[in-house]
Amino acid sequence: MKNEVIEKDIKKLSKEPNLKDYAATYKLFNWKAAYQHIDWFPKGKINAAHNAIDRNARGDRKSKVALFWEGSDGEKRKYTFLELMELSNKFANVLKTLGIERGDRVFFFLPRIPELYYGFLGTLKTGAIAGTLFAAFGEQALLDRLQNSAARILITNKDLKERVDKVKDKLPRLEKIILVDSDKNTDYVLSLTKLMEKAPEDYKVAHMDPSDPAFMLYTSGTTGKPKGVIHQHLAILHEHMSAKWVLDLREDDIYWCTADPGWVTGIAYEILGTWSNGAATLVYEGRFDPEKWYDLLQEYDVTVWYTAPTAVRLLMAAGNDLPEKYDLHQLRHICSVGEPLNPEGVKWGKKVFGIPFHDTWWQTETGGILIANYPCMDVKPGSMGKPIPGVVAAIVNDKGKVLPPNNEGNLAIKPGWPSMMQQIWRRPQKYESYFVGGWYISGDRALQDKDGYFWFIGRADDVIKTAGERVGPFEVESALIEHPSIVEAGVIGKPDPLRGEIIKAFVILKPGEKGSDKLLEDIQKYVKKHLAGYAYPREIEFVETLPKTRSGKIVRRFLKAQEMGLPIGDTSTLEE
């Protein structure tokens, strides 16, 4: 399988790619020299939002559509770069009148609606830190994030606010809630429409140091609460260059990224890197649906598409007759991220769209694509590709020693790429723990073949990837034991042909409780509501005991081996 190659001939591509010669560019490139690709203020100051929007709005792309938006109910809107500049300026002025200053945290808990996009940009313009919360989050997930970040302002809608109301007593630092769908102003809850009406269209964008924080995202590890990953304004340089090379974006593209800005892909490649390259972004508020997705690709003449393996597998499952009904000849480049993309998925792209899916690898912490397949480079189906120019990747052992080709080890990156996380919010030790022997250790296991291609093997820890969403088992376990019938819980990711992994929970019930289908459903609903709509266990097994270390820690590795019928390995530290 690993010998299979989809060969590329750049003369045969429908457009000459931005990156024409991977090897030559990789050899010559350095980040300092690339500073000229983005726009700077005097004295080495910068602003990511200025680069994404204002730079275009003040130039030739002023009247060019930047955002094609379609709501879940079919409503359609268009925004030019100029309009996005004015809206984000107004929003920045709104924040200013509310006393927001540099470094303050402003959070968004919204579906994919235009307010989220210009609000995010407006926040960056003030120098405050923008945080996004995925609309599927439940009470506990919201509380953890808003409490830890000490957000001063939250922008949401009436519907989602109900979840915030359940925890707002525990959020003394949250000063105001702004609703996008209300005309009423009270002391604590304000109307965005009312605030925007009065706000001026001009705004002097904050001149930031390259290392000043711009946005933050919470992500999960094996243990503990989610951690706040902070990205700096300079990340725009990485996002700009990688969008150019990997997504091959240019101003005449209609680009559709199916990710949500609640996750890093939606920020880096739906807002920042996309718009800084002058491309138009399509945003569809609605959910996944094969027919609707093909409709969108056709109707908007999408040229470049960035999606996720689970979506690819679901489209494959929906059959090849469906795409044949559509005219998708405009589509010239397709990419994927978030979890392993099976070789079948890569090849299915070629069969159905005439072009293979190009897998890309990165993480919330890396702020931008680090390893990828390129339009100009041969694709080995199943491989994540090669590091982008300016990024040094290697496979290292646990001490940080580089291993020779074809050896499994830790996928590691030389620190210093511009979108590398700049801190973990208020957890300096956690931040430090990512670095070993001069390498950033990703937490993924991989190998590099003799041609330099990287191949994903698995996570080094217990982190679960379900339909591309990153879920910490500890958070699910914590939510489960809050349920009145449960005493203890162990949670693992169980391989699943469609979703990559599903969440499986092993639970011990309180004495006298009996496992039933009704209880199972009740537990699932409980986790959905309290944690997040996607982070609930699709499978639950009621058990009498859980494997534990002598110090009482649940050994998930053991549960997983048992589930998969694999050897359980070293059991010497187990309690029984």
568 vs 576: CA distance, rounded Å:
13
Asked if 489 interacts with ligand WT7 (CB under 6 A), we say: no
By the rule CB under 6 A, 338 interacts with ligand WT7? yes
Give which of 52, 46, 97 is closest to 206, Cα–Cα.
46
State the number of binding residues for ligand WT7 (CB under 6 A). 22
**Gap between the Cα atoms of 81 and 111, Å rounded:** 21
Residue with Cβ nearer ligand WT7 (232 or 442): 442
**Residue 135 CB, nearest approach to ligand WT7 (Å):** 16
Kindly tell me which residue out of 286, 443, 515, 533 binds ligand WT7, with binding defined by CB under 6 A: 443
Q: Which of 337, 393, 479, 559 lies at the binding interface for ligand WT7 (CB under 6 A)?
A: 337
Amino acid letter, residue 88: S
Binders in 366-395 for ligand WT7, by CB under 6 A: 384
Closest CA to 305 of 326, 328, 322: 328
- CA angle, 68 then 69 then 73, to 5°: 145
Tokens of 284: 């569809």
Cα–Cα distance, 475 to 141 (Å, whole number): 9
Q: Verify binding: residue 278, ligand WT7, rule CB under 6 A.
A: no
Q: Which is nearer to ligand WT7, 161 or 231 (CB)?
A: 231
Decide if residue 361 touches ligand WT7 (CB under 6 A).
yes
For residue 368, the minimal CB distance to ligand WT7 (Å) is 9
Question: What are the tokens at 124?
Answer: 């960056």
Residues linked to residue 541 through DSSP beta bridges, in sequence order: 506
CB of 93 to ligand WT7, least distance (A): 32
- Smallest gap, in angstroms, from Cβ of residue 81 to ligand WT7? 26
Site for ligand WT7 contains 363 (CB under 6 A): yes
Report the residue number, 50 or 465, with the smaller CB distance to ligand WT7.
465
Element at 200 (helix H, strand E): none
What is the smallest separation between the CB atom of 291 and ligand WT7, expressed in angstroms?
26
Nearest to 97 by CA among 178, 41, 180, 161: 178
Among 58, 194, 414, 459, binds ligand WT7 (CB under 6 A): 459
Least distance between ligand WT7 and beta carbon 371 (Å): 8
CA dist 103 and 34 (Å) reads 27
With both helix axes pointing from N to C terminus, report the angle between 309-317 and 343-353 in degrees, rounded to the nearest 10. 60
With residue 538 as reference, give the H or E element that holds it: none
Binding region for ligand WT7 (CB under 6 A) out of 139-147, 204-212, 310-318, 442-450: 442-450
Q: What is the CB-side half-sphere exposure of residue 375 using CA atoms within 13 A?
A: 24
Judged by CB under 6 A, the residue of 362, 374, 417, 536 near ligand WT7 is: 362
| 18 or 410: CB nearest ligand WT7 | 410
Is 265 an interacting residue with respect to ligand WT7 (CB under 6 A)? yes
- For ligand WT7, which residue of 47, 93, 156, 219 counts as binding (CB under 6 A)? 219
Number of other residues whose CB lies within 10 A of the CB of residue 340: 18
Q: Do residues 251 and 64 touch, judged by C-beta distance below 8 A?
A: yes
**Distance between CA atoms of 320 and 348, rounded to whole angstroms?**
9
| 123 touches ligand WT7 by CB under 6 A | no
Binding residues vs ligand WT7 (CB under 6 A): 219, 263-265, 337-340, 359-364, 384, 442-444, 456, 459, 465, 470
